[in-house]
Chain A
Amino acid sequence: MLHLSEKPHFIYTCLMLLAWVSQYVSLSTGFELNHSLTYIWPLPHELTSGNETLTVNPTLSLYLIGKGGNFKILREGFRRYKRIIFKQSSGVSIFKNLRRIRSIYDISQIRIIVNSDSDELKLGVDESYTLFITKTGGKSIAWEAIIEVNTVYGALRGLETFSQLCAYDYTTKSVQLSKAPWYIKDKPRFAYRGLLLDTSRHYFPVDVIKSIIDSMSYAKLNVLHWHIIDKQSFPLEIPKYPKLWNGAYTKWERYTVEDASKIVRFAKTRGIHVMAEVDVPGHAESWGVGYPDLWPSNSCREPLDVTKNFTFDLISGIFSDIRKIFPFELFHLGGDEVNIGCWNNTPHVKQWLKDNNMKPKDAYKYFVLKAQEIAISKNWTPVNWEETFNAFAGSLNPQTVVHNWLGPGVCPKAVAKGFNCIFSNSGVWYLDHLDVPWEQIYNAEPLEGIDNESKQKLVLGGEVCMWSETVDTSNVQQTIWPRAAAAAERLWSTKSALSAGNDTVLHRLHYFRCLLQRRGVQAAPVTNYYARQPPAGPDSCYWQ
């Protein structure tokens, strides 16, 4: 196990590894589980465990009890998790005599009791679950696994936890569940646990978006905030305005309405909402590639022309079309970084401002409120970046959800005024900030500065943002993980669990990063100085 290399730049690593190896060399393996810790990510709300090790039958079956509603999501989820859990128990057996064949397993069935027959996925849908791994009654030696939930989405969270309890044991070549019996009663701390994905700075193929959604479900994140469009490109098809996606980078870097629906459905089967964003009136230059009338002028192209009815007709048309695709009740209207220079120096806009007795700042408000009205008329709850709140809090529709990003301290102000808020302080939760280490992300608290309990309830949760100026298919997962997992635990687990020392959290986070890798997710080393750096040298996943 000693590391040795003739290359000079590995010598330092080599020394560090020597120091590490020497303390472990008498053990058969380098990284040992600390049995006082619970290797479930994010940490459940309440749990007790024991000290028995159980075997899990590779032909594990599902027994569903409940009101007999739509269990398709659950059956599919069970099959998905079964593939994850039993990745390594393959049917191939060329060394039969050497295998320890077990005909009796401790757990051969998982029983799921679902109380509600609705599979509606709304904000705040009940994601709680209770998971028991326990001996059946009487003197029987049989064990049972039971997940009890109100909704299928709670059951999916319970299955994720169950899958994390299972580990392939290389000695017995069976899947084992250690520290049984288990009693886990779990629920999320926040209803909104998001990840923003920006498909305008770089296009992400549908398969890549799906694999990101899959990986989110492993960390119990539940909102994909899809920042579809920005000034660089307009990849989404809008049937009513078919020239909009002329603003795509190329004719292949596009999403059809069918692609978008497929993504929404894929996410739903994992209990994940897709919140779409159409960012107006700034960040919209690409719209004018197909409809140049949207630009104030050919040489000054942003924000969208506030003076024309066409602008708002088109926004209304976009919303009508995509309302059919995105059932989630929240819809993001952007409203950030509106630089009103073009309004001020384009003659017809300037004239219009004058006629309407508006300053550009008033026109910004006018635009945002008008977009809000349109969204509300489509039965959407508008979400806006914090600039709208910072600029004209008193005029915003009271339903507005304020999306923080510029810095700390905004949610306290927003909830004080009665608004809902989403926490994404860019100093800590912008994943494109590569110099923010995992522990700063982990320690960022959405309720910081909010002491009143009724005000705390107005904080829906938080979101890590993957802006994609320097992120494409080649490195997006590597930039998202493992740091998004730090935020995921912050958003799911109880505050008291989160205040455990960083050492134990780091140990668990290493373990979770390796779990992601086993599942094929390109999670980067945890403790590199900058995010998404390559590993510094040869070593175990559990140590880097």
Chain B
Amino acid sequence: MLPFSQNSHYKLRFLVLVLWVSHLVDSKSGFELDESLTYLWPLPSEFTSGNQTLTVDPTLSFSALGKGGNSKILVEGFERYKKIIFKHVSGISLFDKSRGIRSVYDISELRFIVNSDSEELQLGVDESYTLFVAKKDGKSIVGEATIEANTVYGALRGLETFSQLCAFDYETKSVQIYKAPWYIKDKPRFAFRGLMLDTSRHYLPIDVIKQIIESMSYAKLNVLHWHIIDEESFPLEVPSYPKLWNAAYTKWERYTIEDASEIVSFAKMRGIHIMAEVDVPGHAESWGAGYPDLWPSSTCREPLDVSKSFTFDLISGILSEMRKIFPFELFHLGGDEVHTDCWTSTPHIKQWLNDQNMTAKDAYQYFVLKAQEIAISKNWTPVNWEETFNSFPSKLNPRTIVHNWLGPGVCPKAVAKGFRCIFSNQGAWYLDHLDVPWNEVYSAEPLEGINNVSEQNLVLGGEVCMWGETADTSDVQQTIWPRAAAAAERLWSKREAVSARNITLTILPRLHYFRCLLNRRGVQAAPVTNKYARQPPIGAGSCYEQ
């Protein structure tokens, strides 16, 4: 197992590896799990386990009770997880005698009890579940493996947990569940556990967005915040304003409304909301490629022209079209980083400001509130980046959800004023900040500085943000994972569980394990402990230690 290389630039790594290997070379496989830890990510709210090892039948069957048992979401979810769990158990057998063929398995059925038949996916939908796995014994009336949930979405979370209990055992060539019997009672700590994706700085093909959604479900993240449009490009089709997507980078880097709908329904099948964003009035320069009237002038192109009713007609048109695609009740209106210079330096707007007796700052408020009204009229709850709250909190619609990003301490102020809040402090939860290591992501606490329980309840959750300036199809998953998983556990698991003293001993081995689980499922999760995110591994080695 000693690594060796003739290349001189590997020499240093070589020495480091030699030191490492030399202390492992006696154990047959270099890495052993610390059995006192629970290798489920994120950690369930309550659980007990035992010390039995159970085998799982590769023809695991599905049974369902309750009103929600026939749901397509549940049936397809079961099939999806079955493929994940039984990846290695194939029908091929070239070496019969070497196979440990078992005709009797401990677990041959997964039973679901789903109480509600509603498939509505709204913020705060019940994601709780109970998972029970035990060897069948004559006296028990409970089945071998049972997931009970109020909604299909809770059942999906339970399925994910079940899949993480299962591991392929290479000696017996069967799927096993260790530390049974398991009794798990689980629910998320926050209703909003988000990942933001930016498809304006780089276009991401539909397949890639789907892969990302799929990977989110492994960490029980449940909101994809789709930052569709920005100043660089406008990839989305808007049928009533067909020239808007002329500002896509190219004629192939676009999303049709059918593409967007497909993404929404793909996400729904995994219990994931899509929160769309249309960021106004800043970050909107690309809009004017198709409709130059939206620019203050052809030389000064941002923010959107506040003086024209066309601007608001068009926003209303966009939102009407998008409302048909995005059923989620939250809609993000942006409102960040608005530089009003173009308003004050363009004669016709300057005149308009004068006529209305407004300063540029007033016009910013006017614009944001008008956009909020439009969104609310479409039956959406508006979300705004924190600048809107920082500038005119008392004018914001009271339903507004404040989306923190600039730094710590904003959610405490927002909830004190009665607003709901989403935590995305860029110092910790901006994934494009490559110098933030996993432990800083993990330790960021959305409720920091909020002690009053009723105010705590106003924090919907948090979101890690994957801005796309240097992330395209080639490196986006690698930049998201494994650090997004650190935030995912913070957002799902109990605060006591994530506040352990020595996270290097208690959390890091579990995160290594989860990173390798992502790799096994085909997700390009990067090494956990590199100094910078998405750096290549520094040398040969096991996934479980890098």
Complex Cα spacing A87 to B259, Å = 9
Contacts of B540 in A (CB 8 A): 200-202, 232-233, 468-469
Residues of B within 8 A of A544 (CB): 472
Contact yes or no, B246 A29, CB < 8 A: yes
Contact indicator per residue, chain B 316-337, by CB within 8 Å of chain A (1) or not (0): 0000010011000000000001
Cα-based distance from A202 to B524 in the complex (angstroms): 13
B541 cross-chain contacts in A, Cβ below 8 A: 201-202, 232, 249
**Chain A 524-544, CB within 8 Å of chain B: the 1/0 string?**
110000001011111111111
The answer to whether A87 and B206 have CB atoms under 8 Å apart is yes
- Mask, A434-475, CB within 8 Å of B = 1, is 000000000000000000000000000000000011111111
A472 touching B252, Cβ below 8 Å: no
Task: Report the Cα distance A375→B334, complex, angstroms.
Answer: 66
- Indicate if A28 sits at the interface (CB-CB under 8 A): yes
Residues of A within 8 A of B473 (CB): 517, 520-523, 541
A478 in contact (CB, < 8 A)? yes
Q: Determine if B239 is an interface residue (Cβ-Cβ < 8 Å).
A: yes
Cα A373 to Cα B122 with chains together (Å): 68
A174 vs chain B, min Cβ distance (A) = 11
Question: Shortest beta-carbon distance, A85 to chain B, in Å?
Answer: 13
Indicate if the CB atoms of B203 and A540 lie closer than 8 Å.
yes
Contact B94 A324 (CB under 8 A): yes
Taking a contact as CB atoms closer than 8 A, the residue among B171, B472, B519 that contacts A525 in the complex is: B472
Is A94 in contact with B257, judged by CB distance below 8 angstroms? Answer: yes
A106 contacts across to B, CB distance below 8 A:
none
How does the 8 Å CB contact mask read for B17-41 relative to A, with 1 for contact and 0 for none? Answer: 0000000010011110000000000
**Closest beta carbon of chain A to B355's beta carbon, Å:** 29
Instruction: Tell me whether A474 and B6 are in contact in the complex, defined as CB-CB below 8 angstroms, given that A203-B542, A206-B87, A518-B207 are known contacts.
Output: no
Q: Report if A233-B1 is in contact (Cβ < 8 Å); known contacts: A168-B252, A170-B252, A537-B469.
A: yes
The CA of A525 and the CA of B472, in the complex, are separated in Å by: 9
Q: Is the CB of B262 within 8 A of A2?
A: no
Contact (A232, B92) CB under 8 Å given A522-B473, A539-B202, A544-B472: no
Q: Are A249 and B29 in contact (CB under 8 A)?
A: yes
Check if B407 is an interface residue, CB within 8 A of chain A.
no
Identify the stretch in B105-113, B447-455, B474-482 within 8 Å (CB) of chain A at 4 or more residues.
B474-482
Contacting chain A: which of B154-162, B486-494, B530-538? B530-538
Report B486 CB to chain A, min CB distance, Å. 16
Least Cβ–Cβ distance between A233 and chain B, in angstroms: 7
Q: Which residues of B contact A535 (CB under 8 A)?
A: 202, 470-472, 474
Asked if B286 is at the interface (CB within 8 A of a chain A CB), the reply is yes
**Is A395 part of the binding interface, using a Cβ–Cβ cutoff of 8 Å?**
no
Q: Is B369 at the interface (CB under 8 A from chain A)?
A: no
A524 and B474 within 8 A (CB): yes
Q: Mark A342-380, 1 if CB is under 8 A from B, else 0.
A: 000000000000000000000000000000000000000
Q: A252 contacts which of B170, B173, B206, B472 (Cβ < 8 Å)?
A: B170
A192 to B285, CA, bound (A): 50
Chain B residues within an 8 Å CB radius of A200: 540
Given A29-B251, A168-B252, A469-B261 contact (CB < 8 Å):
no
| A133, chain B: closest CB distance, angstroms | 21
Give B299 Cβ to nearest chain A Cβ, in Å: 10
Count residues of B near A (Cβ-Cβ below 8 Å): 98
Which of A43-51, A116-124, A254-262, A272-280 is found at the contact surface with chain B?
A254-262
Give the nearest-CB partner of A479 in chain B: B536
- The smallest C-beta distance from B271 to any residue of chain A, in angstroms, reads 20
Contact B252 A1 (CB under 8 A): no
Please report whether the interface of chain A is mostly helix, strand, loop or mixed according to DSSP.
loop
- Most chain A CB within 10 A, of B88, B202, B472, is at B472
Chain B positions 246 through 258: 1 when the CB is less than 8 Å from some CB of chain A, otherwise 0: 1111111110111
Find out whether the CB atom of B233 lies under 8 angstroms from the CB atom of A523.
Answer: no
When distances are taken between beta carbons in the complex, the residues of chain A under 8 Å from B471 are: 534-535
Tell me the complex Cα distance, A463–B350, Å. 65
- Is A90 engaged at the interface, CB distance under 8 Å to the other chain? yes
Taking the nearest CB of chain A, how far is it from the CB of B16, in angstroms? Answer: 13
A72 within 8 A of partner (CB): no
Given contacts A261-B92, A469-B10, A473-B524, A523 and B202 within 8 Å (CB-CB): no
> Any chain A CB within 8 A of the CB of B140?
no
Chain A: minimal CB distance from B256 (Å): 6
Query: Does A5 make an interface contact (CB < 8 A)?
Result: yes
Compute how far the CA of A359 lies from the CA of B253 in the bound complex, rounded to whole angstroms.
64
Chain B residues within 8 Å of A538, by CB: 200-202, 232-233, 468-469
10 extra A-B contacts, CB within 8 A, seeds A474-B534, A475-B526, A532-B474: A2-B231, A30-B250, A170-B245, A251-B171, A259-B88, A522-B474, A523-B474, A525-B474, A536-B470, A540-B233
Interface residues of B (CB under 8 A from A): 1-6, 10, 25, 28-31, 87-88, 90, 92-95, 97-98, 167-168, 170-171, 173, 200-203, 205-208, 211, 231-233, 237, 239, 245-254, 256-259, 261-262, 265, 285-286, 289-290, 301-302, 321, 324-325, 337, 468-475, 477-478, 516, 519-527, 534, 536-544, 546
Offer 11 A-B interface pairs, CB within 8 angstroms, sorted by A: A1-B285, A94-B325, A95-B321, A233-B1, A242-B98, A245-B170, A249-B30, A251-B170, A256-B173, A286-B1, A522-B477
